[in-house]
Structure 1
């Protein structure tokens, strides 16, 4: 079966999108989309926006990977963060498509518009995720050969960063073997689940330092986190995932429902409230998967966007398999991939870490802890460097971020942003992307 079997637009088609709740909205963009059958019974959806520039060949290609696992890049990343249109289908001034071609992929299979014919085809770990992505990228660069020489970057968010690291490692091998032809230029890991335990163990201290926990609460949170640590150290990863969810419930009860995605906001929705000891992964699914498929976004994706795309099977509901995706990855969820980041650095891959100051689920303290565990030979020199301030593009004379770069490793501390940096600090995120892709 041809991989391009479901694509409804050619490479160079210029069209006008007019789905603004029935009100025509002219947005010129060069787009294409389709499915790749990555395995028998496993169908992955992708959506490409070619850069809004007459000479896209001079701009990078970025693949965006969402978190979860089970969060939709083609939905959330596209319409909530960096795509050319927002959820009201109005032009986004800070769209990354202004400075790059952007490839959204609903990954792993079962996420967003991607689907499997049976639950058995869902992925179990990042190795399986990476193998599937190699099939998609092989076909993508083969069919769209005009992108083979363009610098290709993988940008990610949350669990998407863990997948991005594993995908990058496999991509290097594929390029060396000649099975994929592309100009891989680097990977950027945003608020990424690289070392889950380092995140969990720093929740307490971070919240305490920001006056969101008292001494009693700190003790309770740390006790729960230590249980997660013990399970991880014993290799009981699925139980560790359950206790990770339980620890989040302890945090919620001691902070009066802090928002794990931005500590300065509070979500009083019933979807994110849970009780300690709630069965299985229900509490974590409420907090981290369902908000990525909020009702308004689901209406958009299962309504006008589905109609526009014209290729989504009738049996597939956008996000319908998301919770199953998370549950199937539960045994892999708490495993670290610091060693993979080390492999990338040793191979000379450009690796960027960027993190939001107000993020809790992947707090910056935890990110800094695992970075210090790297065996990379440039780590000592990197640690001795002084960071550089960046002015906030949205507020003159205000600091918007700090960064450090040494050889092929970079770290960006993004201020006034939570877990979804492009949503919270859109202009700063765009500037950071341009710096990473050597446009600024």
Structure 2
């Protein structure tokens, strides 16, 4: 069940301002597995004139309803002030705490946590089937999946499962495409390019490059031997080697220093936040927002199972899904890749490498095309991004942005959203 609200205030020291139409609720995707979703209807005289976007956070274990909503694209920021670059201005936005155990989603036991992206996709099919059956007004509206970090890996698998479900008629929706932001599609390509990227930006010397390369090769060896849990452990070791040789570079934006106040937690998309920001979001989600929603069980803490979610998925973490992108393209699904120039954890060089490995029949023509510059909406006359599109594939290079593009370049991210969803 969900609740629709137009206005909510609570005597908690935080006042929640007037909102547009919202609804939220839980779906039991399996026995003992409960997934939470939160929908904002588009700020428009008619939401039916605008697309529906589902946002998937990274991790696995990062909360869309928390990080994506209040730190990136939702109508309010963590101070509950209106966000000028909210995506709700151009789309209805569906946040899902995915996989189960993430954010407000929870499982009755650790055995019910997901193990791989196939299981994640199967759970999401249950949620989407119920969502579109109940919110029938969205069945004909163009539906896009936007994602970030590990969320992109999950989005790829979910998009393929959804394409098949729509073809079979088991889910009624107008699936229009998937957008993969700074996404963990080919983990090894990311890790192997950390050294060259940092070296080219003067953040590693020759000795540091040698150290990072050696650590990355250990990850590669584990992947090639099919030892994926070991590869995840080696990935973590390689992160430490990078930090030691760069005096604590921030994996999420190389121009900002990683200091003792930063609590990095894998790809959960909360490593980008300092302790103060994390505490603010934690208090917000477990305080006034929890009270507003009114459906969170007493024994559930927002983010309380995040580490367990990541551990449960550790055997799947370093596996690539490039083959799934090929399947999506072959099926005619619109696929967009977008990446932040200053991101290290999923650097653009690594993204370009896996794109070159696609078997897609349009790759040769795409590769021969010149990109097009896009003006920065916040700085007239300055380039904010480049993009290139051919047939059903597009790539956006977002300048002056790190891992969390809407946080770093909100106006540019909003323009990209409008272009991808054919609003401009």
* Cα RMSD for the two superposed structures: 1.5
Match of 1:39 among 13, 19, 30: 30
Does structure 2 conserve the Cα–Cα contact (< 8 Å) formed by 1:202 and 1:366?
yes
Pairs aligned (count) = 421
- Asked if 1:403 corresponds to 2:387, the answer is yes
1:16 to partner: Cα distance = 1.7
Match of 2:64 among 73, 79, 86: 73
Match of 2:3 among 3, 8, 11: 8
Match of 1:165 among 143, 156, 180: 156
Residue 315 of structure 2 aligns to a residue whose secondary structure is: helix
Seen in structure 2, the aligned counterparts of structure 1 residues 84 and 379 have a Cα distance that, compared at 3 Å, is same
Q: What pairs up with 1:352-363 in 2 under 5 angstroms?
A: 352-363=336-347
- Asked if 1:250 corresponds to 2:241, the answer is yes
- For 2:361 and 2:151, the matched residues in 1 are separated by 26
Match of 1:98 among 81, 89, 96: 89
- Asked if 1:176 corresponds to 2:167, the answer is yes
- Report Cα offsets for 1:7-30 as digits up to 9, x if no partner: 233xxx5x1244596364542310
Q: What pairs up with 1:376-387 in 2 under 5 angstroms?
A: 376-387=360-371
- For 1:19 and 1:349, the matched residues in 2 are separated by 44
Deviation >6 Å, runs of 4+: none
What residue in structure 2 maps to residue 412 of structure 1?
396
Residue 36 of structure 2 aligns to a residue whose secondary structure is: strand
1:258 to partner: Cα distance = 0.2
What residue in structure 2 maps to residue 109 of structure 1?
100
TM-score, normalised relative to structure 1: 0.93
- Report Cα offsets for 1:105-134 as digits up to 9, x if no partner: 000000000000000000000000000000
Match of 2:135 among 128, 132, 144: 144
- For 1:417 and 1:288, the matched residues in 2 are separated by 14
What residue in structure 1 maps to residue 293 of structure 2?
309
Q: What pairs up with 1:330-409 in 2 under 5 angstroms?
A: 330-409=314-393
1:86 to partner: Cα distance = 0.3
Residue 149 of structure 1 aligns to a residue whose secondary structure is: coil
1:354 to partner: Cα distance = 0.2
- For 1:47 and 1:427, the matched residues in 2 are separated by 23
Residue 316 of structure 2 aligns to a residue whose secondary structure is: helix
What residue in structure 1 maps to residue 411 of structure 2?
427
- For 1:340 and 1:317, the matched residues in 2 are separated by 34
- Report Cα offsets for 1:156-207 as digits up to 9, x if no partner: 0000000000000000110111100000000000000000000000000000
1:420 to partner: Cα distance = 0.0
1:269 to partner: Cα distance = 2.5
Does structure 2 conserve the Cα–Cα contact (< 8 Å) formed by 1:63 and 1:105?
yes
- For 1:118 and 1:290, the matched residues in 2 are separated by 26
Does structure 2 conserve the Cα–Cα contact (< 8 Å) formed by 1:271 and 1:287?
no
1:296 to partner: Cα distance = 1.1
Q: Which runs of 5+ in 1 are unaligned?
A: 274-283
- For 1:326 and 1:398, the matched residues in 2 are separated by 40
- Report Cα offsets for 1:81-111 as digits up to 9, x if no partner: 0000000001011100000000000000000
Q: Which runs of 5+ in 2 are unaligned?
A: none
- For 1:285 and 1:148, the matched residues in 2 are separated by 36
TM-score, normalised relative to structure 2: 0.97
